[in-house]
Amino acid sequence: MQTPPLSGGDSGNESPDQAFLDMRALPPGPRREACRSKTINAWLPMAHRLATRFRNRGEPMDDLRQVAAMGLVKAVDRYDPTRGKAFETYAIPTVTGELKRHFRDHTWDVHVPRRVQELRNQVRLSQHELAKTSGQHTVTPADIAADTGLSEDDVNQGIQALGSYSAYSLDAEPTGLDGGTSLADRLGSCDSALDTILDRETAKPGLQALPERERTILYLRYFHDMSQTRIGERLGLSQMHVSRLIRQTCEHLRVDALQGSE
């Protein structure tokens, strides 16, 4: 692949490497920038072809081409023709690396280690190939391990990572249903009663040791939500006496619970 003449002279037949040498020889300024732009434009089709290798992975093709172009710019700016390596040999891994970094760093909704990302890619490709060649609807971890040479533990890590690439929106409706409840509406919520479990378990020994009258008063007040007046009427006590018994009994339970936790 030949780039346009970069030196501006009679060098239409010069090699790409010579063109880079001529560009490097130019001092910083408009002429060098013009030569740099010509070089980038000349190699842009190659960068776009490399981007097509990453299609069908959930990213828009325009975005992939832009990332590939950024990789090409880096390759043009960093390439040293005096090292004896052809520009294409240097540019291809540079552009490809930029595309891979884009997928690794910017397209995962849930961050996972790089090794697990690589396992995920191996598992995904193996699943696709095995399903295509064997006609199996379900490919097992053992099948993938045999195909890739990975351990089943590594395969399982890769399978788990398959769900980390993209996350569901909490506003998403169930697939195939119209007007269904959103995912957020179907998620569970914290039960406020869970906060009282520890308190109840801590107070249980003290409650069991209470006299029957005091235990009955607490049961009617806090489990049946009866008023102090109604409790008094039921047990033949005044409302003030009931109030005093509740206060004294709760204080007794609190002291017993504190002593039991020491």
Domain-wise residue ranges, the chain: 16-106, 110-166, 192-261
> Average pLDDT of the chain?
78
Predicted pLDDT at 190? 67
Q: Which tops the pLDDT comparison, 241 or 171?
A: 241
With beta carbons less than 8 A apart as the criterion, state whether 205 and 199 touch: no
The reply to whether the predicted model has a pTM over 0.85 is no
Q: In CATH terms, is domain 192-261 a member of 1.10.10.10? A: yes
Does the pLDDT of residue 26 top 80, yes or no? yes
Helix (H) or strand (E) holding 14: none
Does the pLDDT of residue 48 top 70, yes or no? yes
Does the pLDDT of residue 180 top 90, yes or no? no
Q: Is the dihedral of CA 64, 69, 115, 128 positive or negative?
A: positive
Predicted pLDDT at 168? 52
How does pLDDT run across 83-142, given as a tens digit for each residue? 878 888 899 999 998 888 887 666 555 555 667 667 777 887 888 888 877 766 678 888
Fold match, 16-106 / 192-261: no
Q: In CATH terms, is domain 16-106 a member of 1.10.1740.10? A: yes
How does pLDDT run across 219-260, given as a tens digit for each residue? 899 888 899 999 999 999 999 999 999 999 988 888 877 776
What are the tokens at 87?
């520009």
Predicted pLDDT at 47? 93
Secondary structure of the chain: what % helix, strand, coil (to 5)?
70, 0, 30
- What value does the mean pLDDT take over residues 147-174? 71
- What value does the mean pLDDT take over residues 189-203? 72
Predicted pLDDT at 92? 93
In terms of phi and psi (left: phi > 0; alpha: psi -120 to 50; beta: otherwise), the region of 161 is alpha
- Is residue 1 very low, low, confident or very high in pLDDT (cuts 50, 70, 90)? very low
Predicted pLDDT at 127? 80
- Is residue 82 very low, low, confident or very high in pLDDT (cuts 50, 70, 90)? confident
